[in-house]
C-alpha cells in the first residue's frame, strides 16, 4: 500500500478519533458509537483489497473513508443543523454499496442495473428499520439513542437519496469502476 493510501486511512481515523473524543466530552453516546463503527469501516478498503485481490485507487479509498467521516461528524450536529447533510450521507453511502454490487455484477457478466437498484432499496429499507428499532428501544428504555429517526417523510427522503447514489453509480460506473469490474 502506498504512502498516500496509508495517509488517507490514517487521516480519516484521526478525524474519527476527534469525533469520538468530542462525543465523550459531550456525553453523546450516538457520536461515540458512530465514531467507533466508522473507524472500523475505514478498514473496509484494505479488507477488500486483501480478501479479493483487487487494487483500489487512492481516490476510491478516500471516497469510502469520507463516507465514514461525514456520517460520524454528522452525529455532532450537522444532521440536525444542516438540512442537506442526511441527504448527502445517504447518497454517498448508498453509492458505495451500489459500486460493490455494480463491480460484482459486471465481473459475473450480468446487467448491474436491476441488481444495484434492488440491493440499494433492500439495504436502505433494512437500515431504516434498524434505525427505527434502535430509536424506539432507546426511547422505551429512557436512553439516548445512538441513531435517530425523524419520521416517515425523513425515511422517504432517505430512500430517495439512497436511489440517487445508485443512479450515479449506474450512470458513471463504467467510467469510475470499469477497471475493478474488468479485473479478475
- Residue 9 and residue 43 in one domain: yes
**What is the C-alpha end-to-end distance of the chain, expressed in Å?**
19
pLDDT for residue 52: 82
pTM, two decimals, is: 0.91
CA pair distance 83, 64, nearest whole angstrom:
22
- 50 shares a domain with 26: yes
Among 48, 82, 116, the domain-final residue is 82
In this structure, are 101 and 184 located in the same domain? yes
Name residues whose C-beta falls within 8 Å of residue 84's C-beta, 6 or more positions apart in sequence: none
> What SS3 state is found at 164?
helix
Quick one: 47 and 95 in the same domain?
Answer: no
Q: How far apart are CA 18 and CA 11, in angstroms?
A: 11
Q: Domain check: are 68 and 93 in the same one? A: no
Q: How far is CA 66 from the centre of its chain?
A: 9
Based on the fold, state whether residues 25 and 76 are members of the same structural domain: yes
Please give the tally of structural domains in the chain.
2
Full residue range of the structural domain in which residue 120 is found: 84-184
Identify the pLDDT of residue 165: 98
Asked whether residue 109 falls in the same domain as residue 63, the answer is: no
Interval 125-135: pLDDT, tens: 999 999 999 99
Is the predicted pLDDT of residue 184 greater than 60, yes or no? Answer: no
CB 146 within 8 A of CB 31: no
For residue 99, what are the CA distances in angstroms to 83, 95, 107, 149, 161?
Answer: 26, 6, 12, 26, 15
- pLDDT tens-digit series, residues 7-39: 778 999 999 999 999 999 999 999 999 999 999
Q: What is the pLDDT of residue 9?
A: 84
Is residue 65 domain-shared with residue 96, that is, in the same domain?
no
Cβ neighbours around 134 below 10 Å, total: 18
Question: Residue 129, SS3?
Answer: helix
pLDDT of 3 above 80: no
pLDDT value at residue 25: 98
The 10s digit of each residue's pLDDT in 163-182 is 999 999 999 999 999 888 87
Which pLDDT score, from 0 to 100, does residue 179 have?
87
Amino acid at each position: 500500500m502506498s504512502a498516500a493510501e496509508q495517509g488517507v486511512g490514517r487521516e480519516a481515523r484521526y478525524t474519527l478519533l476527534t469525533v469520538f473524543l468530542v462525543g465523550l466530552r459531550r456525553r453523546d453516546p450516538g457520536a461515540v458509537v458512530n465514531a467507533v463503527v466508522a473507524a472500523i469501516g475505514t478498514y473496509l478498503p484494505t479488507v477488500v483489497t486483501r480478501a479479493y485481490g483487487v487494487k483500489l485507487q487512492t481516490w476510491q479509498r478516500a471516497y469510502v473513508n469520507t463516507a465514514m467521516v461525514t456520517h460520524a461528524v454528522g452525529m455532532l450536529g450537522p444532521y440536525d443543523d444542516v438540512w442537506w447533510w442526511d441527504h448527502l450521507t445517504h447518497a454517498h453511502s448508498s453509492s458505495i454499496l451500489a459500486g460493490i454490487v455494480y463491480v460484482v455484477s459486471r465481473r459475473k457478466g450480468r446487467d448491474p442495473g436491476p441488481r444495484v437498484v434492488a440491493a440499494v432499496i433492500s439495504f436502505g429499507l433494512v437500515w431504516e428499520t434498524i434505525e427505527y428499532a434502535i430509536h424506539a428501544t432507546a426511547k422505551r428504555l429512557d436512553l439516548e439513542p445512538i441513531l435517530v429517526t425523524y419520521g416517515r417523510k425523513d425515511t422517504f427522503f432517505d430512500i430517495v437519496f439512497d436511489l440517487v447514489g445508485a443512479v450515479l453509480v449506474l450512470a458513471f460506473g463504467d467510467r469510475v469502476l470499469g477497471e475493478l469490474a474488468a479485473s479478475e
